[in-house]
Amino acid sequence: MTEPQMINLALAILFLPLLGFIVTLLLGKKVKSIYIFEVFIIVLAFAGAVLMVFTKLSYYPNSDITSEFSWINLGNVPLLGNTSIDLGILVDNISVLMIFVVTLISMLVHIFSIAYMEGDKRFNRYFAYLGIFTFSMTGIVFTHNMLMMYIFWELVGLSSYLLIGFWFEKKSASDAGKKAFIVNRIGDLGMLSGILLLYTTYHTFTFSQIFSQIAAGHLPFNSELWLTITGILLFCGAIGKSAQFPLHVWLPDAMEGPTPVSALIHAATMVAAGVYLIVRIFPLLTSDALLFIAVIGMLSAFIPATIALTQNDIKKVLAYSTISQLGYMVMGLGIGAYKFAFFHLITHAFFKALLFLGSGSVIHAMHHEQDITKMGGLRKKMPITYATFLIASLAISGIPLTSGFLSKDGILQSSFAFGSLTGHWIFAFVGFLVALLTAFYMFRLLILTFHGTPRDQHKYEHAHESSFSMAMPLVVLAVLSIFIWYTPNPFNPEQGSILSSWIKNPQLVTPQDTRFNFMKSDVPNTITTNKASEASGIMYSEVYNNAIEEAHIPALTLSLILASLGIFIAFVFYQWKKVDVDKMVNSIKPLYNLSYNKWYFDEIYDATIVALTLLLSKFLAWFDLTVIDGIVNGTAAITLEVSKWSGKFDNVVVDGFVNAMAYISGFIGLIFRRFQTGKVQTYIVLVIFSLVILLFIFK
Amino acid sequence: MNVYDLIFYLFAAITILSAFFVVTTRNIVYSAYYLLFTFFGVAGIYVLLGADFIAMVQLIVYVGGILILLLFGVMLTNKITNVDIKSGTIHTVPATIGVALFAGIILASMWNTNWKNVNSDMQVASTQHLGFLLIHQYALVFELLGILLLIALIGAASMARK
Amino acid sequence: MIHVGLNHFLVVSTILFSLGILGIVSRKNAVMVLMGIELILNSANINFIAFAKFGNFGFQGQIMALFVIILAAAEAAIALAIVLNIYKTFSTVNVDEIDTLKD
pLDDT at A529 over 60: no
pLDDT of B86 over the 80 cut: no
Per-residue pLDDT at A536? 41
Give residue-wise pLDDT tens across range A445-485. Answer: 888 888 877 777 777 777 777 778 888 888 888 888 888 77
A150 or B1, which is more confident: A150
Cβ-contact A330, A244 below 8 angstroms: yes
Convert the pLDDT of each residue in A283-307 to its tens digit.
Answer: 888 888 888 999 999 988 888 888 8
Span B27-59, pLDDT tens digits: 888 888 899 999 999 999 998 888 888 898 889
The mean of the pLDDT values for chain B is 83
Provide the CA A680 distance to its chain's centre, in angstroms: 68
ipTM score assigned to the predicted complex: 0.87
Question: How far is Cα A392 from Cα C67, in angstroms, rounded to an integer?
Answer: 78
How remote is the C-alpha of A262 from its chain's centroid?
Answer: 12
| Chain C residues within 8 A of B157 when measuring between CB atoms | 81
Chain A residues with CB-CB distance to C23 below 8 A: none
pLDDT of B81 > 60? The answer is no
List of residues 6+ apart from A185 with CB closer than 8 A: A157, A240
The answer to whether residue A621 scores a pLDDT higher than 60 is: yes
- Minimal-distance CA residue of chain A relative to C22: A685
Nearest CA-CA partner of A232 in A146, A292, A147, A282: A292
Q: CATH code for C28-95?
A: 1.10.287.3510
Interface test with C, best of B28, B49, B56, B119 (most C CBs within 10 A): B49
- Do A481 and A351 touch, CB atoms closer than 8 A? yes
Determine the pLDDT at residue C103: 63
Distance CA B21, CA C78 (A): 25
Tell me the chain A residues in contact with residue B113 when contact means C-beta distances shorter than 8 Å.
none
Task: List all chains that touch chain C, counting a touch as 3 or more CB pairs closer than 8 Å.
Answer: A, B
Burial class from Cβ neighbours inside 10 Å (0-12, 13-18, 19+) for residue A671 reads: exposed
pLDDT score of B121 more than 70 = no
Q: Give dist(CA A217, CA A152) in Å, integer.
A: 30
**Choice between A618 and A80, residue whose per-residue pLDDT is larger:** A618
Residue A530 has pLDDT above 50, yes or no: no
Q: How far apart are CA A40 and CA A16, in angstroms?
A: 10
Q: Mutation target for A interface from C24, C86, C92: give the one with most A CBs within 10 A.
A: C24
pLDDT at A268 over 70: yes
Closest CA to A267 of A395, A401, A384, A149: A395
For the beta carbon of residue A468, count every other beta carbon within 10 angstroms: 9
Give B102→chain A minimum CA distance, Å. 6
DSSP strand E in A33-186: where?
65-77, 81-91
Q: What is the DSSP letter of A628?
A: I
What's the pLDDT score for residue C102?
65
The residues facing A402 across adjacent strands are A482
Cβ neighbours of B99 in C, within 8 Å:
18, 21-22, 25
| Tens of pLDDT, residues A2-29 | 888 888 888 899 899 999 998 888 888 8
pLDDT of residue A685: 81
Decide if B70 and C35 are in contact by the 8 Å CB cutoff.
Answer: yes
What pLDDT, on a 0 to 100 scale, did the predictor assign at position B1?
A: 63
Q: Which of A90, A152, A514, A427 is nearest to A280 (CA)?
A: A90
pLDDT(A368) > 80: no
Residue type, A142: F
- Name chain B contacts of A685, Cβ cutoff 8 Å: 91, 94-95, 98
List chain A residues with CB under 8 Å of B90.
681
DSSP letter (8 states) at residue A506: P
Parallel/antiparallel/unpaired status of strands A81-91 and A65-77: antiparallel
Would the pTM of this model clear 0.80, i.e. be above it? no
Please give the single-letter amino acid code of residue A307: I
Q: How confident is the model at residue A527 (pLDDT cuts 50, 70, 90)?
A: very low
Integer Cα distance of A200 and A204 in angstroms: 8
Q: What is the rounded CA–CA span in Å between residue A394 and residue A135?
A: 32
DSSP assignment of B49-113, as one string? Answer: TT-HHHHHHIIIIIIIIIHHHHHHHHHHTS-TT--S-B--B-SHHHHHHHHHHHHHHHHHHHHHS
CA A587 distance to own-chain centroid: 40
What does residue A143 show for φ and ψ, rounded to 5 degrees? -65, 150
For chain C, say whether A679 makes contact (Cβ under 8 Å).
yes
* One-letter amino acid for residue A161 of the chain: Y
Instruction: Quote the DSSP letter at residue A511.
Output: -
The DSSP secondary structure of A397-421, one letter per residue, reads: HT-TTBHHHHHHHHHHHHHHHHHHH
* Cα angle value A619/A623/A624 (rounded, 5°): 115
C61's CB contacts (< 8 A; 6+ apart) are C48, C49, C51, C52, C53, C55
Q: What are phi and psi of A83, to 5 degrees?
A: -115, 135
> What is the SS3 assignment for B27?
strand
Q: What angle do CA A305, A306, A312 make, to 5 degrees?
A: 90
- Nearest Cα to Cα of residue A105 among A238, A270, A256, A243: A270
**Hey, how many other C-beta atoms are within 10 angstroms of the C-beta on A265?**
29
Mapped onto helix, strand or coil, the DSSP state of residue A68 is: strand
Beta bridge partners of A81: A77
Helix (H, G, I), strand (E, B) or coil at A196: helix
A665 burial via Cβ count (<10 Å: 0-12, 13-18, 19+):
exposed
DSSP-assigned states of every residue in A526-576: -----HHHHHHT--S-HHHHHHHHHHHHHHHHHHHHHHHHHHHHHIIIIIS
Domain segments of chain C: what residues? Answer: 28-95
Q: How many CB pairs under 8 A join A and B?
A: 25
The answer to whether the Cβ–Cβ distance between A688 and C96 falls below 8 Å is: no
CA pair distance C34, C36, nearest whole angstrom: 5
Query: CA nearest A237: which of A208, A203, A198?
Result: A198
Contact B73 C28 (CB under 8 A): no
Higher pLDDT, A584 or A242: A242
Contact A24, A37 (CB under 8 A): yes
Judging by beta carbons within 10 Å of its beta carbon (0-12, 13-18, 19+), is residue B19 exposed, middle or buried? Answer: buried
| Residue A531, pLDDT above cutoff 60 | no
Q: What is the pLDDT of residue C16?
A: 93
Closest by CA position to A191, among listed A315, A278, A65, A259: A278
CA C103 to chain centroid, in Å, comes to 29
Contact B105 A695 (CB under 8 A): yes
Mean pLDDT value of segment A389-413: 87
**Cβ distance A187 to A241 under 8 Å?**
yes
Determine the Cα–Cα distance for residues A518 and A516; give it in Å rounded to an integer: 5
In C, which residues are within 8 Å of B38 by CB distance?
16, 39, 42
- The per-residue pLDDT for range A97-114, each reduced to its tens digit, is 899 989 999 998 888 888
Any chains having at least 3 CB pairs less than 8 A from chain B are: A, C
Position A533 pLDDT exceeds 50: no
**pLDDT tier at C40 (50, 70, 90 boundaries)?**
very high
Hey, are the CB atoms on C25 and A679 less than 8 Å from each other? Answer: no
Q: What is the pLDDT of residue A525?
A: 46
B129 at C interface, C-beta within 8 A: yes
In this complex, do B102 and C18 lie within 8 Å of one another by their Cβ atoms?
A: yes
Read off the pLDDT of residues A186-203 as tens digits, 9 standing for 90 and up: 889 999 999 988 888 888
First to last CA, chain C: 56
* Nearest alpha-carbon partner for B26 in B96, B84, B113: B84
**For residue A503, is it left (φ>0), alpha (ψ between -120 and 50) or beta?**
beta
Work out the pLDDT band at A566, boundaries 50, 70, 90: confident
Chain C residues closer than 8 Å to A678 by CB:
98-103
Residues 48-77 of B with CB under 8 A from C: 49-51, 53-54, 57-58, 61-62, 65-66, 69-70, 72-74, 76-77
Is the distance from CB of C25 to CB of A688 less than 8 angstroms? yes
Q: Does any CB of chain A come closer than 8 Å to the CB of residue B90?
A: yes
Q: Report the pLDDT value the prediction gives residue C13, as an integer from 0 to 100.
A: 93
For residue B54, what is the nearest residue in chain C, using CA coordinates? C66
Distance from CA of C93 to the nearest CA of B (A): 7
Nearest Cβ partner for B102 among A681, A691, A699: A691
